[in-house]
Amino acid sequence: MKRLLQKIPDSLLRVGTAFIVFIAAVILVRSLIPASLKNTEEHRKATVEREVAHPVRYAGSEVCADCHEQFELKKKGYHKNLACETCHGVAKEHTENPGDVKPVKNTKREACVLCHIYNPSRPTGFPQINPSIHNPMRLCIECHNPHDPKPQHTPQECQACHAQIARTKAVSSHARLECTTCHTVPEQHKITPRQVRPTIPSDRSFCGKCHAKESKFVGTPKIDLVMHGEKYLCWQCHYPHMPEVE
Amino acid sequence: MNPVNEHLYEMLKQVSGYIYPNEVEFHWSILIVVYPYLTGLVAGAFILASLVKVFKVKQLQPVYRLSMLTALSFMIIAPLPLQLHLGHFERSYEIFLTPNFTSAMAMFGFVYAWYLMVVILLEIWFTYRRDLIRWAETDKPVMKFIHRALALFSKDTSEEGERFDMKAVKFITIIGIPSAFMLHGYVGFIFGSIKANPWWSSVLIPIVFLFSAIVSGIALVMLLYMVVTPLRGEKIEIACVDKMASFLFIAVIIDFSLEMLDFIHRLYQSEESIKILSDLVMNRLFISLGIIQVLLGMIVPLVLILFIKLFRVDEELRKLFYFLAAILIQMGIFATRWNVVMGGQMFSKSFRGLTAYKLEIGGMEGLFMTLALLIAPFFILALLIKILPPWEQQSAQS
């Protein structure tokens, strides 16, 4: 052995030792790392074990149906795909001990608004509200039955979707004009509102029907169409849904 | 306005055409420009050194050790830009302990470690071992210990031992050349293999990176040699600089041809991205690519060196021209890295719009940090030169 070592050049021996020490150190440190961080299978296994170890807190909707008759109602309504525990809270313990443990349900407005606040990315037709103007002081469940939610009244023609405009117009001097006075609305607009759009007036003479000085219409502000507002269209200065505002 | 995304609104003014929302902010900052630049210098400096050992280019002997030390000092700083960009230094060693063999980026640690430990450190050690022992005999106590420790306490000064060292150096250099190609080819591979980005996705990118690395490495060692030698009160060996310039000339021509090949290939292929890429080149990258990279970084240095080769120019003017060419080349290669890294992020993947990069001044990924990273290798080099003087052997020989 000693002879063999003598045959190896001194420099190689030293560098070799340094390398072996280094590699041994790396191997040692690596051996301290748990297997689950080094091997995909082990990692997956450890993850599954970790998740399985969590206590089961949810019971699942089927169990609720055994005792609660509201389940039948919910099954037919718009909330049919919503699990009971989404609103009523975790209920595993309740199913084991129904008398003593009651799930904590969330009846606050914030809970409903999670899904029903206006968000342009939600599908058209999905009921959405602006919570700060939609009966802000009341609980949602005072008017809507969460097990069978429905709008309180059928949406009125344009107002259903264009509520903001409707509210503005309602207090303006154009309040008594129908939407259809200025807009021609194809029937298809109610079904595919983004594809088929209502018309809007295209020139000044349209407003002039009531507001030109030649107009026979009584009680409207009159202007000289030729002189007033130069080349601009009327609605570039006057907001038609609230013409008082310039 | 939310201060976190305030700067994004400012960026929106720079956007032309249509871009996806997540393209306003650049994910790879200037530090990712610095990283391939530094690794390129390492690979280039090493290849210059290997010309002496493997290809026996005698004229380059004066810069052999200098280029090895240059490679080492830049190698030490090379991973820092990545570390600063990613954050969490304390986790970086995990790349070695829990490797992901299927990710090219995750393999950087190994490419780097191989090159640093098996190639550069080992070669420097074998080159210096005998000198270290010799220096330790006459050193003052602290330096004596440093030199002895660096020699791994070896005391073998026999002829036989030295012969083995020489053989070892040659063997390591032979391994080192493909390793240097691998190191920088790897950096190019990272970009070239991103198939979703037409500016990067090209098989030529690794080779272009490699040759630009060689160009920048040779130019850097040439600059260092021309600055350090007069500082030491020695005379610049013009034959050595001439030889370096010749290699530089060849490397620039190859680099230039490859880049033109890539360019023409893209134009001829005329894929769907060609419109936005020409827009990118003609607008956002015009100065950094057209002017700095191609004109100042390649054509002007080529003309300067060609001028020296064609006409009998006296030594002083030659030195000036070489110096100028080397500086321009450094600038050009930095611009090359900039154009690759930033260019790839400046156009929308919708191919319908361009955005711009806003460089921070302070901060972790700002201008000052960049400058610090670019200057740091020179301090390390100064320290290395102090501990391992690269010229002692030559003066002893002479």
- The CA-based dihedral angle spanning residues A71, A77, A79, A84, taken in that order and rounded to the nearest 10 degrees: 0
Calpha distance A86→A8 (Å, rounded): 74
CA gap A39, B88 in Å, rounded: 23
Contacts of A29 in chain B (CB under 8 A): 97
pLDDT recorded at residue B398: 41
Task: Give the pLDDT band (50/70/90) at residue B93.
Answer: confident
Q: Where are the domains of chain B?
A: 34-193+361-398, 238-357
Answer yes or no: do B96 and A26 touch at CB < 8 A. yes
Identify the sign of the CA torsion A182, A184, A187, A192: negative
The answer to whether B307 contacts chain A (CB < 8 Å) is no
Using a CB-CB distance cutoff of 8 angstroms, which residues of chain B are in contact with residue A34?
none
Residue B390 confidence (pLDDT) above 90: no
Range 12-51 of A in CB contact (< 8 A) with B: 12, 14-15, 17-19, 22, 26, 29-30, 33, 37-38
Question: What are the pLDDT digits (tens) for B116-172?
Answer: 888 899 999 999 998 999 899 888 888 899 999 998 888 888 888 888 888 999 899
Q: What is the mean pLDDT of chain B?
A: 90
- pLDDT of amino acid A203: 85
Q: How far is CA B367 from CA B26, B73, B376, in A?
A: 15, 21, 14
Contact A30 B153 (CB under 8 A): no
* pLDDT score for B396: 47
Q: Which two tokens stand for residue B126?
A: 């074998």
The yes-or-no verdict on residue B31 having pLDDT over 90 is yes
Pairwise CA distance, residues A235 & A241, whole Å = 10
Q: What does the pLDDT read at residue B70?
A: 95
Contact A11 B161 (CB under 8 A): yes
Digit-by-digit pLDDT tens for chain A (246 residues) are 677 777 788 888 888 999 999 999 989 998 998 888 888 899 999 999 999 999 999 998 889 988 998 888 998 888 999 999 999 999 999 999 998 999 998 899 999 999 999 887 887 778 888 888 888 888 999 889 999 888 776 556 787 778 788 888 888 888 888 888 889 888 888 777 778 888 888 888 888 888 988 888 888 888 888 888 777 888 888 888 888 776
CA distance B377 to chain A (A): 25
A138 touches chain B (CB under 8 A): no
Candidates B85, B53, B72, B62; CA nearest to B217 is B72
Cβ contact, residue pair B156, A9, below 8 Å: yes
CB < 8 Å to B154, chain A: 10-11, 14
Q: Which chain A positions have a beta carbon within 8 Å of B96's beta carbon? A: 26
Question: Among the residues of B348-389, which ranges form H helices?
Answer: 367-387
What is the residue-wise DSSP string for A162-218? -HHHHHHHHTSTTTTS-HHHH----GGGGTSTTTS------SHHHHHHHHBTT---T
The residue of chain A nearest to residue B123, with distances taken between CA atoms, is A15
Nearest to B164 among A9, A18, A38 (CB): A9
CA atoms of B168 and B162, how far apart (whole Å) = 10
The Cα–Cα gap between B276 and B274 comes to: 6
- Residue B155 and residue A9: Cα distance in Å, rounded? 12
Which residues neighbour A201 within 8 Å (Cβ) at sequence distance 6 or greater?
A: A182, A207, A235
Residue of B nearest to A27 (CA): B97
Nearest by CB: B98 against A17, A18, A33 = A33
A114 interfaces chain B, CB cutoff of 8 Å: no
d(CA B165, CA B173): 12
CB pair distance less than 8 Å for A29 and B97: yes
Q: Report the residue of B101, B118, B156 to disrupt the A interface, i.e. the one with the largest count of A CBs within 10 Å.
A: B156
Which residues does chain A have within 8 Å of residue B168's beta carbon, measured at their own beta carbons? 11-12
Residues with Cβ < 8 Å from B5, sequence gap 6 or more? Answer: none
Query: How many residue contacts between A and B have a Cβ separation below 8 Å?
Result: 38
Whether A121 and chain B come into contact, CB under 8 Å, resolves to: no
Q: How far apart are CA B398 and CA B395, in angstroms?
A: 5
Contact: A37, B161; criterion CB under 8 Å: no
Chain A contact present for B4, CB below 8 A: no
> In the predicted model, is pLDDT for residue B4 greater than 70?
no
Query: Does the distance separating the beta carbons of A9 and B97 come in below 8 Å?
Result: no
Minimal Cα distance from B165: which residue of A?
A: A11
Q: Which of B96, B98, B154 sits opposite A11 (nearest CB)?
A: B154
Q: Supply the pLDDT for residue A246.
A: 62
Q: Which residues of A fall within a CB distance of 8 Å from B125? A: 15
**Which residue in chain A is spatially nearest to B128 when comparing CA positions?**
A11
Q: Of B106 and B341, which is predicted with more confidence?
A: B341
**pLDDT given at position B254:** 95
How many helical (H) and strand (E) elements, i.e. helices and strands, does chain B have?
16, 2
B74 has a pLDDT exceeding 70? yes
Q: Bigger pLDDT: B238 or A243?
A: B238
Complex ipTM: 0.74
Chain B from 154 to 193: CB within 8 A of any A CB: 154-156, 160-161, 164-165, 168
Asked if B168 lies within 8 A of A11 by C-beta distance, the reply is yes
Residues of B in Cβ contact (< 8 Å) with A19:
117
Is residue B397 scored above 60 in pLDDT? no
